[in-house]
Structure 1
Amino acid sequence: MKNRFFIWILLVFTAFTLVQNWGKGQSSSSLDQNDVGLITNKTEYTQGAEVIVTIQNNTTFPLEIPENCPVQPLGIKKYANGEWIDVSIQDSAECKVSVPFEIKPGEKSKLSYKNWAYRLFETPGRYRVEGTILINQEPRVVSTNEFTITEKGVLKTAWMNFVYRPILNALVYLIEVLPGHSLGFSIIFLTLIIRTLLLIPSQKAMKSQKKLQKIQSRIEELKKKHKDNQEKLAMETVALWKEHKVNPFGSCLMILIQFPILIALYLVVSQGLHPDKSSLLYEQIGSNLSFETIQTHFLGLLDLTQIDFFVLPLLVGALQFIQIHLALSRQKKKKAEKELKKEAISPEKVAKNLEKPQDFQDQMQMANNMMKYVMPLMIAFFTASLPAGVGLYWGTSTIYGIAQQFVVNKQSEKEEEEEEPSVRVIEK
C-alpha cells in the first residue's frame, strides 16, 4: 500500500510540472527570418489559455516596445467579416512601473498575455498579435503568425465549472469579507472549510489505514502460505479485507481528493487574482473588491504569490513528518504490557504472538522509513517549487490532519482495549 501511496505522490508532482510547463517547447526556426522575429508558442489555444509571444531582435540596434500599461504591450487583431479588426478592452489595473520593454541586438524575449486571456480572446476565432515597435528610434509595424482560439472541450469545461471556478469564487469571497482583504487568512479559512467538508471520508480513510496495519501480519502469512497460488492469495486477501472492513485504497483517498484542489489553488494564486478573471466570478461575488487592494503579504512577512525557498518548505516538511509519524504508530508494546499485567496469557505466548519473521520486519521498517523520511522531503521540495499560498494551504491542511489523526489514534487505542479478553486464565 505504501508503494501505491508514493506512486500517487509522484503523479501529483508530474501533473504540477505539466501544468507549469504546458505549451512550451515550440519550434523557433522562423525567429531568424526578417529583422524582427515574432511567433506565438502555439498555433491553437483553448479559451482562457495563456498566449505567449517570442520576439527576437535580428538587427544591430536595440528594439523597444512602448509601455502601454494597463493595456497589453502589442495589439490584438481578430479576423471577422472578411477583415482583421482591432480587439480593445478597458482595463482599470494600476500600473506600478511604466518603462519601455527593450531587447538587445541578437537577443530574444517573451511577452505573456495571461493577464488578458479572457478579455482579449473571449470568443473563438482567428487572431494575431500586431503592434508598433521602435528600432533605432524608428517605428515599425510587426505581427505574429495567425493562431486560433477554440472552445473548451468537455473535460476542461467540467474542470472549470466544478473545480476552478468554485475555488476561485470561494477565495475571492473570503478575501472580500475578511478584514484587510488578506489572502493568507482567506487561504487558511478556505482550507478549514474544505477539510471540514471532507471530514467524513478522510476519517474513514484514516481508520481504514489503522485497520490495515493491524492485519498486515496476517496478510504476510497468507503470502507465504499461498506463494505458489496467486489466485488463491488474491481471494484470501480480499476475504480478509472484507472481514475487517478494510479499504486497501483508503490511504490514497485524501491525496486523490485534494489533488484537483491543489491544482486549482495553484492556478488561482498564481494567475486568478487579476481583473482578467472577473468574468469567472459568480454574480455579486467580488462586487465590492478591487483586485489591487488584495493583501498578498501574510503577516507582513511572506508574499503568497511568490515562491518561498526556505522557511515555509521546512515548516511544511516538519508538519508532514509529524502527521506520518502519528499515522504509523502501532502501540504494540503498550498493548503487550497491558496483557502481561492482566495475566490474560503467559509472557511466552505474548512474545510468540508479537513475533514476526525477520524479513517481514525488515520490509516493514524500510517501508515505514521511506514513508516517514522521504515523503516530507518530497513535500518540502513541492512547497519550494510553487507559490507560497499553495504551501500555506498544504501546511494548514496538514495541521488539521494531525489533529484528526490524533483523535483517530485515541479511538483506535480505546477500541483495542475494549477488544481485549476480560477472562483471566487462573493457573492451579
Structure 2
Amino acid sequence: MWPLYWVISAVLLAFHTLFGNIFGDASGIAWVLSIIGLTLVIRAALIPLFVKQIKSSRNMQLIQPKVKELQKKYGHDRERLAQETMKLYRDSGTNPFASCLPILLQMPIFLSLFRLIDQAAKNPEQVRGLMTVELNRQFGDAVFLNAKISDTFLTTDLLSVRILAAVLVLAMTATTFLTQRQLMSKNMPPDALTGPYAQQQKLLLYVLPLAFGFGGIFFPVGVLFYWTTSNLWTMGQQFYVIRNNPAPGTPAFQAKQDRDAAKAARKGIVLDTATAEPVPEPEVRPAQRQQPKRESRQQRKNKKKK
C-alpha cells in the first residue's frame, strides 16, 4: 500500500494547497474539496478502462443470441458448453469480467484513502506518504457541516455527523442503483434481458447498492464523499456514452435515431431508417434538346411549293 499512499497523498495535498489558500489550511471545506479533486483525477485516469468496459459490455449484449444457441445445442454437455462459450468470447473480443474492473481497481485506492483518514484521526504521529504530523492533525480534525470528516455513522454520538453520514450513504446507494438500472433499461436489447448475463446484471442491480449501503455506515465521512463523487462521475459518464453511442437494437439506439431524424428533418435532410445515413437526392439531368426530324429532298420541295 505504500506506493498508493505516496500517490494519493501527493494528489490530495496538491488540491489542498489550492483550496487551502482560499478557505484556510485547516478548514473542512478545503479537505472535502481536495478529496473530490482526488476522485476526479482518479476517474479521469480510468477513462480508457471505462471505454473497454463499455465495449465489452456491448459485445456481451450482442452475442447473447449466440450464447442461447450454444446453450440449446450443448446444454447436455457442460464442459463442451463452457469451451464453446469461451471460444465465442475470444472470437468476439469479449471479456465477461470487464464490467468489474473499474470497481476492482478503485478498491486499493479506496482502502488507501480510508487508512489515511482513519490513521490521521487515531494516530497522527504515524505519517504515510507525503502527509506530515501537522497535516494529519488538520485532516483528522477538519470539520465540514458540523461533522468531522474522519467520523463515521457508528463512532459518533453527534446528530449532525449521523445526519450527514446518512445522507451520503443514501446518495452513494442511490447513485449505484441508478447507474446499473440506467444500463439495463436503456442500453440492453430485449434478447439480453434473459439468460445468465441478464441474471448477473439483475443481481448487481440489487446486491451492489445493498453492499455499499451496509458498508457505508463504517466509512468515514471523507471516504463517503469520495465514493459518492465517483458514483456521480460514473452515472454521468455512462449517460453520455449511452446517449451518443448506444448499442444497436436497444431503446437508447432507437431514441438516438429519432433525435437524429428530427434534427435532419429541421435541416431538410431525409435519413435512411435502416442505416440512419442521409438518403442521396436523385440526380437531375438537364432536359435533352429535341432534334428536328430529318426530311427527304422531295419533302422539302413539297413544303416550298405549299
Question: Could you tell me the TM-score, scaled by structure 1's length?
Answer: 0.49
Q: Does 1:318 align with 2:164?
A: no
Deviation of the 1:227 alpha carbon: 1.9
Q: Secondary structure at the match of 1:310?
A: helix
Root-mean-square deviation (CA, aligned residues, Å) is 3.1
Matches of 1:407 and 1:236 in 2, distance apart?
34
- Counterpart of 2:90 (choices 220, 242, 245) is 242
Q: Look up the match of 2:142.
A: 296
Assess if the C-alpha contact under 8 Å between 1:203 and 1:404 holds in 2: no
Q: Look up the match of 1:276.
A: 125
Q: Look up the match of 2:213.
A: 380
Amino acid at match of 2:15: L
Amino acid at match of 1:389: G
Q: Secondary structure at the match of 2:246?
A: helix
Q: Look up the match of 1:148.
A: none
Show structure 1 runs of 5+ residues with no match: 1-158, 334-353, 424-428
Deviation of the 1:321 alpha carbon: 0.9
Once the two structures are superposed, the pairs formed by residues 46-65 of structure 1 within 5 Å of their partners are: none
Assess if the C-alpha contact under 8 Å between 2:65 and 2:191 holds in 1: no
Q: Look up the match of 1:403.
A: 236
**Between Structure 1 and Structure 2, whose CA radius of gyration is higher?**
2
Q: Look up the match of 1:205.
A: 53
Deviation of the 1:255 alpha carbon: 1.7
Q: Secondary structure at the match of 1:232?
A: helix
- How much identity, in percent, do the aligned residues show? 28
Deviation of the 1:198 alpha carbon: 1.1
Question: Can you list the C-alpha shifts for 1:374-396, whole angstroms capped at 9, x where unaligned?
Answer: 32121111111111111111100
How has the CA–CA distance of structure 1 residues 292 and 268 changed in structure 2, closer, same or farther, with 3 Å as cutoff?
closer
Q: Look up the match of 1:305.
A: 150
Question: Could you tell me the TM-score, scaled by structure 2's length?
Answer: 0.66
Amino acid at match of 1:270: D
Q: Look up the match of 2:288.
A: none
User: Which one has the bigger strand percentage?
Assistant: 1
- Counterpart of 1:187 (choices 35, 57, 81) is 35
Matches of 1:281 and 1:362 in 2, distance apart?
47
Q: Secondary structure at the match of 2:125?
A: helix
- Counterpart of 1:176 (choices 1, 17, 21) is 17
Matches of 1:362 and 1:225 in 2, distance apart?
15
Matches of 1:394 and 1:316 in 2, distance apart?
7
How has the CA–CA distance of structure 1 residues 422 and 403 changed in structure 2, closer, same or farther, with 3 Å as cutoff?
closer
Amino acid at match of 1:174: F
Once the two structures are superposed, the pairs formed by residues 82-97 of structure 1 within 5 Å of their partners are: none
Show structure 2 runs of 5+ residues with no match: 154-164, 258-272, 277-306
- How many residue pairs get aligned? The number is 235
Q: Which has the higher contact order (CA 8 A, sep 6+)?
A: 2
Q: Secondary structure at the match of 2:93?
A: coil
Matches of 2:211 and 2:177 in 1, distance apart?
11
Matches of 1:228 and 1:391 in 2, distance apart?
47
Once the two structures are superposed, the pairs formed by residues 351-362 of structure 1 within 5 Å of their partners are: 361=194
User: Which one has the bigger helix percentage?
Assistant: 2
Matches of 2:191 and 2:118 in 1, distance apart?
52
Deviation of the 1:366 alpha carbon: 5.1
Once the two structures are superposed, the pairs formed by residues 104-183 of structure 1 within 5 Å of their partners are: 159-160=1-2, 162-178=3-19, 179-180=22-23, 181=25, 182-183=30-31
Deviation of the 1:373 alpha carbon: 2.4
